[in-house]
A and B are shown apart, each in its own frame.
Chain A
């Protein structure tokens, strides 16, 4: 691997941070500490990490209901994320959004989104805005295989292609749309095949290999930044966890899931790093310990943060609410 140790370990640290955040979210939810819904990104960490490693701070992303990983990879504050999961005032959305609506516009995260396919038109608009301003930023729209069957997907790809917008569509094909297998609901085996219908580049890669993700994304992001227009990148992975925490998972057997644990991205990357002598046991343990400590501190921060006041429910709708009847 022709990359510096620093660079590779940064990728590794991001993946580990996402994993630990998700493991903690799962634990807290199962213990009844977190309200609402939690959708875990476990097993898919390489995608956000590898793609976003190519982005600048002023680039934009749109995310999904399974969005914690994208937020972390884009540089979000873990404390504020955890506080949002707890619905506290220090959370990214002051307790008004929760897991599915975390956003930080200041670092270019234009929102997780509770609507499957909801982020794509927003990403297209951000791309349109950048083009109108003659800016050099790009927009990455993350979405799942399920979203590739929505009208929003098809309208968005066509629109972005027609105006050659700097938008990269990243479809995280984790084999399941909610509780239904993608292959039972999707007309093509490779979702990237749909790109041809919109006259744009479509590529399918292994989403569990962070270096492959990084390198492929690098090319298409560069292309978009230089005015070459949008691409559709399909990253194949597997949703190791249920659709949401608490999912009874009646649609698959445990054995199938166990098999996929063998191919999960962290072990895969660790093996590669160790073979290349970029990571040893001591370094590895330290990275995990630091990350676990950071997450525990985030939980402490969240739990000690103030609960919103009732009247806070009647703020943040409009910039100017004069005359508005709540």
Chain B
């Protein structure tokens, strides 16, 4: 099968859906002429000049206008420049997009997609490195997708562009240039269906985004030591595939949850709670969370690496949970 990058797969998903559906348009800061700060739209340069455009640095309006455009029948894709800057326009999302359908008694279809980069890169520091997906799992009203591979981003974004509900997509900066197999033939990936990246019998690791790759690396090392790790990529956080996780825990009896975002009250805490509520009798040891240290992201790469979890932390956690 052909291999393309994460960014190319995203571009293909958007291109294919825009060709089919004239109501789709996409906009944000630096998307049209530059193709996105991390090249997310490079493959779309010059395509659909009237339907891909650059905007002022006005986040509250970028996100809020997506809502207005959806209400009049369009299917906007609004890019957030960095996940951190979701906060500069946050009321348009948390107080408007996430609530308007519910508080108007189910009026309207909010077919809109917010998407953009999150996570660490090389010393981007405290205001350009955050992963804040947990907030959107916490506040009801938006679906959250977090692809880890070119295959997944294409299938999930295509599904998002046919959904009638608002969706937010987090794309880890360090994934855009990664390559992977993507079939030429069209496919969709449903929300709420996890992908078992690797099967194993001893410990389950539930993860997403860049940490999927760290988990697979950890699993490979542990395999050499005779420990079978089952790596589950949730792929979507709202809704999340509880069934697959619990089935796996019933088999392995051990659970580690790993994410890049802060450990404290990160989404791993929610997964751990649900598993102990619903599958306590299958657990042979307390669930262990792997997450970022609870500080803003420091600039110096040594410090950045120290506070950011990686495969070694997952190995440590797996060993601890099995002890």
Contact = CB atoms under 8 A, between A and B. Distances in A.
Interface of A: 60, 62, 91-97, 101, 103-105, 110-111, 113-115, 118, 120-130, 132-133, 135, 137, 139, 151-152, 155-156, 158-159, 162, 315-320, 322-325
Interface residues on B, range: 35 or more
B69 A320 contact: no
Interface string B28-53: 00000000000000000000001100
Nearest to A93: B105
Nearest to B274: A325
A91 B63 contact: no
B18 interface: no
A100 to B, nearest CB: 9
A155 B65 CA distance: 11
Contact of A152 (B61, B108, B164): B61
A105 B68 contact: no
A115 B61 contact: no
A23 to B, nearest CB: 26
Given A93-B103, A115-B96, A317 B73 contact: no
Given A111-B100, A317-B101, 19 more contacts: A96-B102, A96-B104, A101-B103, A103-B100, A115-B91, A115-B95, A118-B91, A121-B60, A121-B63, A124-B64, A124-B68, A128-B74, A129-B71, A151-B60, A152-B91, A155-B56, A316-B106, A319-B101, A324-B238
CB-CB nearest 5 A-B residue pairs: A125-B68, A121-B64, A125-B65, A323-B192, A316-B106
Interface of B: 23, 25, 50-51, 55-56, 58, 60-61, 63-74, 76, 91-92, 95-96, 100-109, 140-141, 143, 163-165, 191-192, 238-242
Contact of A126 (B69, B101, B165): B69
B21 to A, nearest CB: 12
Contact of B242 (A124, A151, A158, A325): A325
Contacts of A127: 68
A123 B71 CA distance: 10
Given A125-B76, A132-B51, A156-B61, A103 B239 contact: no
6 contacts: A128-B65, A129-B76, A151-B60, A152-B61, A323-B191, A324-B192
Given A92-B105, A97-B105, A126 B72 contact: yes
A133 B72 contact: yes
A123 B104 contact: no
Contacts of B109: 319
A324 B23 CA distance: 27
